[in-house]
Amino acid sequence: MKAAAVVANILKREGVQFLIGYPVNPIIEAAAEVDIRTIIVRQERTGLHMADAVSRMTSGERIGVFAMQHGPGAENSFGGVAQAFGDSVPIVVLPGGYPRRLLNIPPNFSSFLNYQHITKWAEQVIQATAVPDAMRRAFTQVRNGRPRPVLVELPYDLLHEDVPDGWTYTPAPRLRSGPDPRGVAEVAAALVAAERPVIYAGQGVHYARAWSQLKELAELLEAPVTTSLQGKSAFPETHPLSLGSGGRSISKPLHECLNNADLIFGIGCSFSITNYGVAMPKGARIAHATLDPADINKDVRAELALVGDAGLTLEALLAEVRGRLGGKPRGRAAAVAQRIGQLKSEWLAQWMPRLTSESTPLSPYRVIWDLLHTVDVPNTIITHDAGSPRDQLSPFWETTAPLTYIGWGKTTQLGYGLGLAMGAKLAAPEKLCINVWGDAAIGFTGMDFETAVRERIPILSVLLNNFSMAIELKIMQVATEKYRSTDISGNYAEFARALGGYGERVTEPGAIIPAIKRAIAKTKEGTPALLEFITEQAVDFSIFT
């Protein structure tokens, strides 16, 4: 069997249903031969974003895989892999390599060398017989420990060579490790002793599918819960103990409760300092549970720490906390919920004029508010983009079911959201999958709307067109005044139609909801839709300093 066919067979055994890729790479043809659906994008970056969403939306149960050619394909993929590394997403990247006689000779691009710092595992295969071993190593790495991209570079000539009969392959296991029981007792004691604890959940809870354990612990401790952007939807945001998600912009209950916490318990999170995550208050007491010891004491000092899978950690803590509390809550919940509820009403009252604004150009907040109240939220997966749409969407979009929001931002590549929505639709075809982006973001990856049309991936794209990079207005005042440097232009509804999708431009507040309904109907018929809302250059965000 040719090495390319061996790779395809191994992917099949690993449960891979889609090979997303861009030619030339013989693995694409070999995958089609074994009935793995091949999906060809318009540029590598979007394909990686799609693979990324497949992994995220299945909690790593089904790993997204992307294949591209040596040289330009590998070079052009860098952004997609870097984004997955930044946000800790487990994907398998299969670049072709130059033929072995030219493999490591300048100026030929070496994926093995160049991807070292944005993968957790990178291997260059130089013998056809080593292909099964290399794939076993890659899948074992990607399924275990800290989720991050892995890469196997397969030289072009090698892929056409025979792997001798007799090779075998067993799918890689997914192994979990639990926290030290002594540490669990310490953290449980601290949580029980705390008067005003706050739980901060990261995406580790999604990967461990530990949503019910998180809820049980929060309800037992009667503690408010927030999440990182990546962890958003790990806890129902309509729950009386929810503070909403962290991010650059946040809710008032989150700001107040976090700053008044006497203990912050982070579960399945890295606590990495980022502009796109809520900052931990100075001097806060922190208990940090994560599966990656490299995150402990990295950006925040942890008074207490646990290393292990988020599900096993929460289960161990639940047993300890139950023991200490005699199995039931202490009767704090009503007061905690009342305080959160009051802060939330104050905050929403302040924002309601923006969320229900009748002005034109449209308020982006009105578009988001109408969208939230038109879709079936638990059956919708939504993602933001970089720029203002992220900071406008994330605090006001209340998730009610796990894995219904794809939050990101350890690095913030404009244009990421489109591929995420497309990958989410592949992983969860029954859900409405939406990306909300600005007119600068569409400039990066917009051509892949054609991929959504051609590959029958009927997403809903919500474009907030303000003919500007509004988020940059404050910091590019002179360049804007002198040279119009933040201006951009385009008619994206026409663009969507030109690519074979459904496109509609919306300018009036009363037309928002009917347009959303028409677009959803189109997605149900199998046609991707793009709604282009003409919005004001809003620069107001729910930021607390």
Ligand X SMILES: Cc1ncc(C[n+]2csc(CCOP(=O)(O)OP(=O)(O)O)c2C)c(N)n1
Report which residue type is found at 69: Q
Secondary element (H or E) of residue 300? none
Report 372-401 residues binding ligand X (CB under 6 A).
Answer: 386-389
Task: Mark the segment that binds Mg ion (CB under 5 A) among 47-55, 435-443, 476-484, 512-520.
Answer: 435-443
Q: How far is the CB of 472 from ligand X (least distance, A)?
A: 5
Residues 434, 382 contacting (CB under 8 angstroms): yes
Residue nearest to Mg ion (CB): 438
DSSP H or E segment with residue 356: none
DSSP state of 541: -
**Tokens coding 490:** 């385009």
414 binds ligand X (CB under 6 A): yes
Q: 81 or 520: whose CB is closer to ligand X?
A: 81
CB of 470 to Mg ion, least distance (A): 5
- The option from Mg ion, ligand X, none interacting with 459 (CB < 5 to 8 A, set by class) reads none
Q: Which two structure tokens, joined as six digits, stand for 63?
A: 């790993």
Q: Residue 434 CB, nearest distance to ligand X (Å)?
A: 16
Instruction: Give CA angle at 264 (59, 201), nearest 5°.
Output: 10
Q: Closest CB to ligand X among 151 and 464?
A: 464
Which of residues 103 and 442 has its CB atom nearest to ligand X in the complex? 442
Q: How far is the CB of 487 from Mg ion (least distance, A)?
A: 10
Out of 222, 320, 385, 439, the only residue in the binding site for Mg ion (CB under 5 A) is 439
Shortest Cβ 439–Mg ion spacing (Å): 4
Residue number with CB closer to Mg ion (419 or 438): 438
Asked if 467 contacts 456 with a C-beta cutoff of 8 angstroms, the reply is no
Which position among 77, 242, 412, 451 is part of the footprint of ligand X (CB under 6 A)? 412
Q: In what order do the strands lie in the sheet with 432-438?
A: 405-406, 380-383, 432-438, 460-465, 529-534, 502-506
Q: Closest CB to Mg ion among 213 and 466?
A: 466
Considering only residues 415 to 474 of the shown chain, the ones binding ligand X according to CB under 6 A are 438-441, 464, 466, 468-472
Q: How far is the CB of 366 from ligand X (least distance, A)?
A: 14
Q: Compute the least distance from the CB of residue 49 to ligand X, in Å.
A: 12
Q: Where are the beta strands (DSSP E) in 294-367?
A: 304-307
**Whole-angstrom Cα distance, residue 269 to residue 201?**
6
Name the binder of 460 from ligand X, Mg ion, none, CB < 5-8 A by kind: none
For Mg ion, which is the closer residue by CB, 47 or 438? Answer: 438
Minimal distance in Å, beta carbon 294 to ligand X? Answer: 26
Nearest CA among 391, 409, 390 for reference residue 86: 409
Please identify which residue in 466, 486, 523, 542 interacts with Mg ion, judged by CB under 5 A. Answer: 466
Distance of CA 18 to the CA centre of its chain: 19
528 touches which of Mg ion, ligand X, none (CB within 5 to 8 A by kind)? none
Q: Which stretch binds ligand X (CB under 6 A): 55-63, 150-158, 242-250, 412-420?
A: 412-420
Span of 275-283, 409-417, 504-512, 516-524 interacting with ligand X by CB under 6 A: 409-417
Verify binding: residue 77, Mg ion, rule CB under 5 A: no
Q: Supply the DSSP string of 370-414, one letter for each residue.
A: HHHTTS-GGGEEEE--SSHHHHHHTTT----STT-EE---SS--T
Q: 224 or 389, CB closer to ligand X?
A: 389
| 191, containing H or E segment | helix 181-193
Segment 301-308 long-range contacts (CB within 8 Å, at least 24 positions apart):
302/271, 303/190, 304/183, 304/186, 304/187, 304/190, 305/183, 306/179, 306/180, 306/183, 306/184, 306/187, 307/177, 307/179, 307/180, 308/176, 308/177, 308/178, 308/179, 308/180
Q: Which does 414 bind (CB under 5 to 8 A by kind): Mg ion, ligand X, none?
A: ligand X
* Options 363, 413, 435, 461; binder of ligand X; rule CB under 6 A: 413
Contacts 24+ apart (CB under 8 A), 130-134: 131/3, 131/6, 131/7, 131/10, 131/158, 131/163, 131/167, 132/6, 132/10, 132/163, 132/167, 132/168, 132/169
Residue 461 pairs in a beta bridge with 435, 530
Considering only CA atoms, which of 274, 317, 284 is closest in space to residue 183? 317
Q: Kindly state the number of chain residues that form the binding site for ligand X, as judged by CB under 6 A.
A: 18
Which residues ranging from 174 to 203 are in contact with ligand X (CB under 6 A)? none
DSSP, residue by residue, 420-439:
HHHHHHHH-TTSEEEEEEEH
DSSP state of 6: H
412 binds, among Mg ion, ligand X, none (CB under 5 to 8 A by kind): ligand X
* Spatial distance between the Cα atoms of 428 and 423, rounded to a whole number of angstroms: 9
Nearer to ligand X, 149 or 438 (CB): 438
493 is a contact residue toward ligand X (CB under 6 A): no
**Residue 125 CB burial class (10 angstroms; 0-12, 13-18, ≥19):** buried
Residue 128 touches which of ligand X, Mg ion, none (CB < 5 to 8 A by kind)? none
Is the CB of 30 or the CB of 469 nearer to Mg ion? 469
The answer to whether 54 and 62 have CB atoms below 8 angstroms apart is yes
Question: What is the nearest approach in angstroms of ligand X to the Cβ of residue 437?
Answer: 6
Q: Which is nearer to ligand X, 10 or 440 (CB)?
A: 440
Query: 95 vs 503, which CB is nearer to Mg ion?
Result: 503
Q: Judged by CB under 5 A, which of 247, 438, 446, 503 binds Mg ion?
A: 438
> Residue 308: which of ligand X, Mg ion, none does it interact with, CB under 5 to 8 A by kind?
none
Residues that bind Mg ion (CB under 5 A): 438-439, 466, 468
Residues that bind ligand X (CB under 6 A): 386-389, 412-414, 438-441, 464, 466, 468-472
